[in-house]
């Protein structure tokens, strides 16, 4: 499910952008405009996801024409909030994988009671962080 909300963007002196979303009690920032857009969408998605999970109402988006930045350095833009992307990026559903290792390695790992799933998960997270 996708939502579109207006947000106020302000360029800071250090080149970063701060973001306020009038329809939510939240603010965020980004190192550049693209990052600020992403962070605004991610923050709003988290807020909406939590509201839906808890059975709270999701606020309707304000009309973009009704939103005015606090000062003349800001501007208003629409932010697309994609809950499907948030869900898929944070989905902890376990997936069964089959792997092939040498027999000697399997025996050595079993003797030490190594959890294969946890070890593979840790190794994949480490590899992704590189």
Average predicted confidence (pLDDT) for the chain: 90
Pairing verdict, β 26-30 and 2-11: unpaired
pTM of the full structure: 0.67
Q: Tell me the per-residue pLDDT of 86-95, one tens digit each, with 9 for 90 and over.
A: 666 666 678 8
- Of the pLDDT bands very low, low, confident and very high (cuts 50, 70, 90), residue 130 is confident
Task: Report, as an integer, the average pLDDT of 33-44.
Answer: 95
Burial 33-53 (b: 16+ CB within 10 A, else e): eeebbebbbbbbbbbbbeeee
Dig out the tokens for 27 from the structure: 């603010």
Tens-digit pLDDT profile for residues 64-104: 999 999 988 899 999 999 887 766 666 667 888 898 999 99
Residue ranges and CATH numbers for the domains of the chain are 2-89 (3.30.160.250), 94-130 (no CATH)
Is the pLDDT at 119 greater than 80? The verdict is yes
Higher per-residue pLDDT: 43 or 88: 43
């Amino acid at each position: 499910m996708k939502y579109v909300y207006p947000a106020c963007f302000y360029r800071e002196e250090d080149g970063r952008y701060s973001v306020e979303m009038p329809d939510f009690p939240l603010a965020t920032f980004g190192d550049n405009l693209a990052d600020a857009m992403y962070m605004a969408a991610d923050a709003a998605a988290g807020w909406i996801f939590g509201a839906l999970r808890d059975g709270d109402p999701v606020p309707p988006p304000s009309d973009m024409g009704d939103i005015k930045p606090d000062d003349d350095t800001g501007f208003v833009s629409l932010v697309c909030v994609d809950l499907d992307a948030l869900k898929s990026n944070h989905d902890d559903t376990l997936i069964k994988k089959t792997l092939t290792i040498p027999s000697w390695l399997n025996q050595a790992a079993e003797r030490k009671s190594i959890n294969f799933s946890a070890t593979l998960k840790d190794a994949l997270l480490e590899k992704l962080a590189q």
